[in-house]
Amino acid sequence: MNRRELLSLLRSTDPAVVSELTEEAGRVRDQSVGKAVYLRGLVEFSSYCRRGCTYCGINCANSRITRYRMTDAEILGCAEAIQSYAIGTVVLQSGEDSFFTGPKMATIISAIKERTGIAITLSLGERPAADLKLWREAGADRYLLRFETSDQKLFSKIHPPATIPLPGRIEQLQLLRELGYEVGSGIMTGFPGQTCASATDDLLLFQSLDLDMIGIGPYVPHPGTPMADEIGDITSDDQLPNTLATAYKIVALTRILCPSINMPCTTALRTIDPAGYREGLKAGCNVIMPNVTPLDYSERYDIYPGKKRVAQFEQALDLVEKDVTDAGCFVASGAGASRHYRERSGR
């Protein structure tokens, strides 16, 4: 598909376009990576962040939330629990928290690797190159860093620059690849100011970055964040709608354009649609990340409101399994590196 065709699909309001694209994406997923769905246990270990992203509830200016940091032992305990449920990957996620220095994170990573052997995915934001290298050497396998939008002017508006020198997001994605990580990125869809034209460029950027994993998260407004307050001021004539149909359309187009990647059903998708796992899988996703963070912490990881969570992890897994089966797929065991990564890295 060329740029003009993609743009026309994104601007279309015809519901048939969404169903045709999701059906096609499901077929592409089946042919390219099969019906296996891999689980990753998500651990949100710190809600401290030095950045001021205008859409995010844990941005540094939000003084109305109670922040937390999990201890090393608590993080390790979560990784062991993940292993005990036969889930092959832990995803360690936090704000950009300088308390977790390069060496401190490296100690946690090597302890998890030593005790469990499971794959480790990091989602820790923009970090110095030396830290990324250290963590890879300590045993980290994957890194997630969404570029959110390819429109640099818009990105600077929603993601004010850091006060310390850091590699830019695209530069960091390239660096992660050179360091041998399996590299994931993604975007937010439907936020104020994002146009259909810029979302088309996002899809093309996915292709040119040659990513291994891509996550699509619909914008969930968080009351009290600068973006939620400004909403009327910054929309445009070509505004990308903040609708489920748009989110699924972009998920489907991503799978069609990048057939051999891994694609998670994002937490944001599940937040705005109770059937988000099932429908995301039907639209081409093949990864689900059940949340393993202790409930009293997870409730305070307030990046956006309305995150869905059941108290008992076993019950959450049963629900995931049902969604997976209802989507015509099956839960697979193991680390589940993407086919794209295996082929490009020869692993």
**Quick check: 267 and 307 in contact, CB under 8 A?**
yes
Q: Choose between 40 and 51: whose C-beta lies nearer to ligand SF4.
A: 51
Q: Choose between 217 and 336: whose C-beta lies nearer to ligand SF4.
A: 217
Q: How many C-beta atoms surround the C-beta of residue 45 within 10 A? A: 25
Token pair for 248: 């699924």
Q: Binding to ligand SF4 by residue 95, rule CB under 6 A?
A: yes
> Which of 28, 39, 42, 53 touches ligand SF4 (CB under 6 A)?
53
Helix/strand/coil percent split, the chain, to 5: 45, 15, 40
Q: Of the ranges 48-56, 166-174, 201-209, 266-274, which one interacts with ligand SF4 (CB under 6 A)?
A: 48-56
Footprint (CB under 6 A) of ligand SF4, residues 110-129 = 125
Q: Choose between 58 and 112: whose C-beta lies nearer to ligand SF4.
A: 58
Q: Binding to ligand SF4 by residue 226, rule CB under 6 A?
A: no
Kind of pairing between the strands at 142-144 and 330-332: unpaired
Q: Binding to ligand SF4 by residue 264, rule CB under 6 A?
A: no
Q: Binding to ligand SF4 by residue 51, rule CB under 6 A?
A: yes
CA distance 331 to 288: 10
Q: Binding to ligand SF4 by residue 187, rule CB under 6 A?
A: no
> Which of 28, 56, 91, 183 touches ligand SF4 (CB under 6 A)?
56
Q: Binding to ligand SF4 by residue 261, rule CB under 6 A?
A: no
Strand order in the sheet with 182-189: 41-46, 89-94, 119-123, 142-144, 182-189, 213-218
Token pair for 40: 């990753």
What residues have CB less than 8 Å from 43, skipping those under 6 apart? Answer: 70, 75, 78, 79, 82, 90, 91, 92, 93, 292, 293
> Which of 44, 96, 151, 273 touches ligand SF4 (CB under 6 A)?
96
Q: Choose between 56 and 75: whose C-beta lies nearer to ligand SF4.
A: 56
CB of 302 to ligand SF4, least distance (A): 10
Q: Binding to ligand SF4 by residue 59, rule CB under 6 A?
A: yes
**Quick check: 44 and 93 in contact, CB under 8 A?**
yes
**Quick check: 70 and 297 in contact, CB under 8 A?**
yes
CA distance 89 to 333: 10
CA distance 195 to 119: 36
> Among positive and negative, which fits the CA dihedral 33, 34, 35, 41?
negative
List the x/- string, 277-306, binding to ligand SF4 by CB under 6 A.
--------------------------x---
Q: Choose between 88 and 215: whose C-beta lies nearer to ligand SF4.
A: 215
Q: Of the ranges 35-43, 46-54, 108-116, 284-292, which one interacts with ligand SF4 (CB under 6 A)?
A: 46-54
Contact residues: ligand SF4, CB under 6 A: 49, 51, 53, 56, 58-59, 95-96, 125, 303
